[in-house]
Amino acid sequence: MVSAGDFRNGVTFEMDGNVFSIIEFQHVKPGKGAAFVRTKIRNVISGSVVERTFNPNDKYPSAFVERRDMQYLYADGDLHYFMDLESYEQIPINATTLSDSFRFVKENMECKVLSYKGSVFGVEPPNFVELQITETDPGFKGDTATNATKPATLETGAEIRVPLFIEEGDVIRIDTRTGEYMERA
């Protein structure tokens, strides 16, 4: 059992027959009245996000979410195949299950496959990936007064904004959680 007063980011619990994960939480102690916990929670099966307040004394059963390291192999239509690194078992995962950050994953990258009671509900790519720029406009010298950016296409087909000095063929580091350029690799 997990108490609402013990909520932290990433905690998973069962409520109303669904499994939820804490995205954000805030303990609020108003000057008048009882304290409460304001949260933003995600239904791990459907992916919907809801804001909700809890009494700090509320208790909910903990939900065990299995996170397995798996290697992304290839895509075949709407199915993406992953291989368990220990048993070499291959499992197909539907494209609708994958998050937006999956656009930064290329073949042979390791990801965490999330499942609850045997059913896969999500894939977490690595937090940082290094990808090559396949297409972008040429850079301009001297335009450094502002944080000017330009669109660039990565080797996975994803598009992001990069600084003007980045050129085709450069390998860059990307934060997959935000989809932002971090630095040259």
Q: Which domain holds residue 17?
A: 2-60
Angle at 20 between CA 14 and CA 85, to 5 degrees: 100
Indicate which CATH number applies to the domain containing 81.
2.40.50.140
- pLDDT tens per residue across span 132-177: 999 988 866 665 667 788 889 999 888 999 888 888 888 999 988 8
Rounded distance, CA 54 to CA 4, Å? 6
What local confidence, expressed as pLDDT, does residue 71 receive?
A: 93
Residues 75 and 44 in one domain: no
Residues 11 and 45 in one domain: yes
Least confident range of 31-40, 42-51, 87-96, 155-164: 42-51
Residues 114 and 132 in one domain: no
Residues 76 and 48 in one domain: no
Residues 85 and 116 in one domain: yes
What local confidence, expressed as pLDDT, does residue 145 receive?
A: 61
Residue count of the chain = 185
Tell me the average pLDDT of the chain: 86
The sign of the dihedral angle between the CA atoms of 26, 28, 34, 40 is negative
Residues 76 and 107 in one domain: yes
Residues 140 and 160 in one domain: yes
Residues 137 and 113 in one domain: no
Residues 9 and 54 in one domain: yes
What local confidence, expressed as pLDDT, does residue 143 receive?
A: 58
pTM of the model: 0.70
Q: Report residue 6: phi and psi, to 5°.
A: -100, 10
Number of separate domains in the chain: 3
Indicate which CATH number applies to the domain containing 54.
2.30.30.30
What local confidence, expressed as pLDDT, does residue 110 receive?
A: 92
Residues 147 and 161 in one domain: yes
Residues 80 and 55 in one domain: no
| Final residue belonging to a domain, choices 32, 60, 88 | 60
- pLDDT tens per residue across span 96-105: 878 788 889 8
Residues 33 and 82 in one domain: no
Read off the pLDDT of each residue in 5-14 and give the average, rounded to a whole number: 84
Percent of the chain with pLDDT over 70: 96
